[in-house]
Amino acid sequence: MRKRAALPAHENNFLYLGRRDSPEEKLARQAGIEFVAIETGQIRGKAPWVAAASVWKMARSVGAVRALIRRFQPAAIFVTGGYVSAPVVWAGAAEKIPSVIYLPDLEPGWAIRATARWATRVAVSFPQAAQHFAPGKAVVTGYPVRAAFFQTDPVRARQHWQLDPHAPTLAIFGGSSGAHHINQAAVENLAVLTQVAQVIHLTGRADEAWVNHAVAQLPTALRARVRVFGYLDDDLPQALAAADLVIARAGAATLGEFPALGVPALLVPGPFAGKFQEPNANFLVARGAALKINDADLGRDMIPTIQKLFDTPDTLTAMRVAMRALAQPHAAEALAALLQSLGEARQ
């Protein structure tokens, strides 16, 4: 939310509503943004009684959010999907505050489908996502990423991690919380993997210790080719920029961060309820920017696929060019302009 007040054009106040003890709470507080936790719950893939309890929590949160809106008096509301966004959009509509839902994925999940009709606009990363909404509802803004993703390069990134500037380099990226099955497949293939490439492995904090233990069993020369991290924040662009290839799930970040860096991807969509990562992976594969491996086949197909790509540098180059072509460096400005226009129209 952006507070509606008589402020100079360059000044804005923000109120962040989200889940208690979440990464977004930590980031908001680090940025000096007021944070208020609201109740929510998951629905997709949950037992009926759990889903019903979650809907009740969301409905109960609407009144609390309306009270917050009356206190804060925002000019506009911006939400990024997820279950926590539902009561915010509903409350905003009841208070007649313009709102923008941002859909980072190629297809909307339950929360966005359930709230889009109450939002003023839905911002999408690519034109292909607009088809899921009523005519005139969607606005193509692109996927916003930190400026650092556009400002680093492989040479500086490898220097940062003290890696061989000429050796093939692989990043294994499970997202901020890691991807346990990808970590398992990497450890099972670790001896061969480290002979094929230098490895930067982002494990998630839950798997960091046992992955490090597996790395410690390698011969000294191979162990020196691995960098393991439970979590990265400011250094994440450097980790991905150092790579010739990244293995990752196909969450929404792959549609913004990987194109910004132009890093080719080997995608392993998560076998989650709804298979919501499949459209993201298929979008990048269809454009020649990525290859896809089924989660169940990863242990078997990881090494042959990586080896084939490193043995055919022209293929990697073509994937890199295709990935970079999808970059949208002005997405953040487009989102900000959309919010500003809605807020000013209300005043």
Q: Is the pLDDT of residue 55 over 80?
A: no
For the question of whether the overall pTM of this predicted structure is more than 0.85, the answer is yes
Side chain identity at residue 40, one-letter code: T
Q: Above pLDDT 90, what percent of the chain?
A: 72
Q: Is the pLDDT of residue 284 over 50?
A: yes
Average confidence score pLDDT of the chain: 89
d(CA 295, CA 256): 22
* Residues 205, 178 contacting (CB under 8 angstroms): yes
Q: Does residue 160 share a domain with residue 127?
A: no
Q: CA of 5: how far to CAs of 21, 162, 333, in Å?
A: 30, 49, 21
d(CA 302, CA 186): 8
Q: What would the pLDDT profile of 154-189 be if each residue is shown by its tens digit?
A: 999 999 999 999 999 999 997 655 589 999 999 999
Give the model's pLDDT for residue 177.
58
Tokens of 119: 């939002």
Q: In CATH, what number is assigned to the domain containing residue 30?
A: 3.40.50.2000
Q: Does residue 188 share a domain with residue 254?
A: yes
Q: Does residue 92 share a domain with residue 19?
A: yes
Q: What would the pLDDT profile of 56-94 be if each residue is shown by its tens digit?
A: 566 677 888 999 999 999 999 999 877 788 889 999 999
Which has the minimum average pLDDT: 32-41, 42-51, 103-112, 283-292?
42-51
**Average pLDDT in the 315-338 region?**
96
DSSP letter string over 310-334?
HH-HHHHHHHHHHHHTT--TTHHHH
Task: Give phi and psi for 300, each to the nearest 5.
Answer: -80, -40
Q: Does residue 333 share a domain with residue 309?
A: no
How does residue 148 score in pLDDT terms, banded at 50, 70 and 90?
very high
Q: Does residue 342 share a domain with residue 306?
A: no
Which has the minimum average pLDDT: 4-8, 120-124, 174-178, 253-257?
4-8
Q: Does residue 319 share a domain with residue 266?
A: yes
Residue closest to 97 by CA, chosen among 17, 184, 38, 154: 17
E-state strands within the chain: 2-3, 15-18, 34-37, 74-79, 99-103, 121-124, 138-140, 169-173, 198-202, 226-229, 245-248, 265-267, 290-292
For the chain, the residue count is 347
**Average pLDDT in the 112-119 region?**
91
- Identify the sign of the CA torsion 327, 329, 335, 341: negative
Q: 250 lies in which domain range?
A: 148-324
Q: How many domains is the chain partitioned into structurally?
A: 2
Residue closest to 163 by CA, chosen among 197, 208, 211: 197
Q: CA of 193: how far to CAs of 188, 189, 321, in Å?
A: 9, 6, 25
d(CA 40, CA 4): 26
Q: Does residue 169 share a domain with residue 70?
A: no
Residue closest to 293 by CA, chosen among 179, 199, 198: 179
Q: Does residue 338 share a domain with residue 285?
A: no
Q: Is the pLDDT of residue 10 over 50?
A: no
How does residue 273 score in pLDDT terms, banded at 50, 70 and 90?
low
More confident: 238 or 22: 238
Tokens of 44: 């997709």
Give the model's pLDDT for residue 19.
85
DSSP letter string over 3-17?
E-SS--TT---BEEE
Q: Does residue 157 share a domain with residue 119?
A: no
3-state helix, strand, coil in the chain (%, to 5): 50, 15, 35
Q: Does residue 242 share a domain with residue 184?
A: yes
Q: Does residue 219 share a domain with residue 132?
A: no
Q: Is the pLDDT of residue 49 over 70?
A: no
More confident: 113 or 259: 259
Q: Does residue 117 share a domain with residue 92?
A: yes
Give the model's pLDDT for residue 7.
36
